[in-house]
Amino acid sequence: MASYYYLLSSLPMLTASAPPPFDYPTFLEMCRSSVSAATYGALEQLTAESDKGPLLRPWSAFYRRLQAELRYQRLQKRGKPCQAPEDREAAAAVQAAIAADNPLLGEQRLLELQFRQIDQLVGFHVFDDTALFGYALKLRLMERLHGFQFETGKTEFVSLLDGIQQKIYRL
């Protein structure tokens, strides 16, 4: 744990509104000499859906509820029948994200919600595995959001739209 003092205090602060300061492999390399082999292995395998490790069980439960609420509201928006999730604590945040002016803004709002949840789960932990895994989760989530490329997405959208229009014209 003593090696965590330097590691965790040297990591830059992560905010939902800024791009990640470095990628996940760089983070793992920073952790390599400061954490045990078991902790390093868990960090290597970490995804947003992970549920084994410090902080991860309650995070996983929250993440599953969030995904269920997203599925429910997306299906509702399309007019498809679906059963409402039992726990709807994230309903307002998901509704705001889905109603956002553009999908990227919606993803940003969801990231802010996820960051608040991680901060709540980390609580007063500062120099331990809970803080380290909270940081790692945030970095993973940031990489997903900042992996979206506007121009690439726009090009793909135009390509899909052209394909649909060509099919319509052939009818």
DSSP annotation string for 13-60: P--TTS--SS-HHHHHHHHTTTS-HHHHHHHHH--TT--SSTTHHHHH
Q: pLDDT tens-digit profile of 82-96? A: 888 887 878 888 888
Q: pLDDT tens-digit profile of 9-66? A: 999 999 998 999 999 999 999 999 999 999 999 999 999 999 988 899 999 999 999 9
Q: How many CA atoms lie within 13 A of 51 on its CB side?
A: 8
> What is the Cα–Cα distance from 131 to 8, expressed in whole angstroms?
8
pTM, 2 dp: 0.82
